[in-house]
């Protein structure tokens, strides 16, 4: 399927404006596009309540988490890690919109983690902050959702990478228990020479050069990138991880590693659903009110999470005691 027309139009507009690719910019300059796209997306839907909290990182530095609580009694807690190559992105901009939308669609509290970014805070700061954010959500689960609610991790791109790593950490550190994971076009490996990485049709808003730029800022030591905390596909053991949705998109350098991770999870005995957004390019999942793929994508992820929550409630509900007539 060809790239959908609105995405083609956006790329044409950027070309006409002669916007340099991210790989030719400084992090500070690249971050200036965030407010522009956030203005195009607009404010997300209203939620029942918003709670902002500051947490202290392992090095004593502070970062924020935001709990977006829907109306009614939340049925789950979703800890969401945003994309942006570990360099860009912020919970105050487009991802606040994503979080609000996801909260309302799934009837769940969404906790956004504003992990600190590279190059100011390089690997492993992002995953250390994220684990602390995940632990905070688990510790406050009873305040954020109904009794017995599942704890879910989700994220897109670099955030999908972080969500995947969180499932490894939670398993190996014996907590907190993660019940489900939703990974949207996740970074799972540091190999930049896969077929989808070098495919000319995939060199769009995210290109091979841009991903190399992200990696260089996040983890300059090329050899260290093979560590499973950076490339979860390379973990020696993927067994015992929570059921997963892996949602890749057609025009994306990261396509092949997302598919490979889904297959590796399945081989390890993890229940996994692999879905593909046909005709979409990397970045669509954060482009509310900009790219039509956003609506399709957020609906698909929300539907899978909602189905899991429903099944979880059914299987975890206490069974009525059997009775018999005298």
**Active-site amino acid positions:** 157
User: What is the per-residue DSSP string for 178-210?
Assistant: P-EEEEES--------SHHHH-GGG-SSS-HHH
Q: Is the dihedral of CA 238, 91, 131, 27 positive or negative?
A: positive
| CA nearest neighbour of 179 among 143, 233, 137 | 137
Measured distance CA(17)–CA(198) in Å, rounded: 26
Treating both helix axes as pointing N-terminal to C-terminal, what angle do 94-106 and 293-316 enclose, rounded to 10 degrees? 40
Helix (H) and strand (E) counts in the chain: 11, 8
- C-alpha 49/C-alpha 53 separation (Å) is 13
The closest alpha carbon to 21, from 214, 152, 206, 226, belongs to 206
Pairing of strands 272-281, 180-184: unpaired
How many CB atoms lie under 10 A from the CB of residue 235?
20
**Strands 151-156, 244-251: parallel, antiparallel or unpaired by DSSP?**
unpaired
């Amino acid at each position: 399927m060809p790239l959908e027309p609105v995405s083609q139009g956006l790329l044409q507009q950027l070309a006409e404006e002669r916007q340099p690719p991210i790989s030719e910019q400084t992090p500070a300059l690249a971050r200036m596009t965030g407010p522009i796209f956030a203005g195009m997306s607009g404010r997300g839907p209203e939620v029942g309540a918003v709670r902002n909290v500051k947490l202290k990182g392992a090095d004593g530095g502070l970062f924020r988490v935001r709990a977006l609580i829907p109306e009614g009694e939340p049925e789950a807690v979703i800890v969401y890690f945003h994309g942006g190559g570990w360099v860009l992105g912020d919970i105050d901009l487009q991802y606040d919109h994503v979080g609000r939308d996801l909260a309302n669609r799934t009837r769940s509290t969404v906790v956004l983690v504003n992990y600190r970014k590279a190059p100011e805070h390089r690997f492993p700061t992002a995953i250390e902050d994220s684990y602390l954010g995940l632990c905070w959500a688990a510790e406050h689960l009873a305040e954020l959702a109904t009794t017995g609610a599942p704890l879910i991790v989700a994220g897109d791109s670099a955030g999908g990478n972080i969500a995947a790593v969180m499932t490894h950490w939670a398993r190996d550190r014996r907590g907190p228990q993660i019940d489900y994971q939703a990974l949207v076009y996740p970074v799972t490996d540091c190999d930049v020479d896969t077929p989808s990485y070098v495919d000319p049709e995939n060199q769009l808003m995210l290109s091979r050069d841009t991903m190399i730029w992200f990696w260089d800022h996040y983890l300059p030591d090329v050899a260290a990138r093979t560590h499973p905390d950076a490339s979860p596909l390379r973990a020696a053991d993927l067994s015992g991880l929570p059921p997963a949705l892996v949602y890749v998109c057609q025009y994306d350098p990261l396509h092949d590693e997302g598919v490979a991770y889904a297959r590796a999870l399945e081989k390890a005995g993890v229940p996994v659903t692999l879905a593909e957004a046909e005709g979409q390019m990397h970045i669509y999942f954060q482009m509310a009110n900009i790219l039509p793929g956003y609506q399709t994508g957020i609906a698909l992820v929300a539907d899978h999470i909602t189905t899991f929550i429903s099944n979880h409630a059914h299987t975890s509900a206490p069974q009525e005691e059997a009775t018999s007539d005298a």
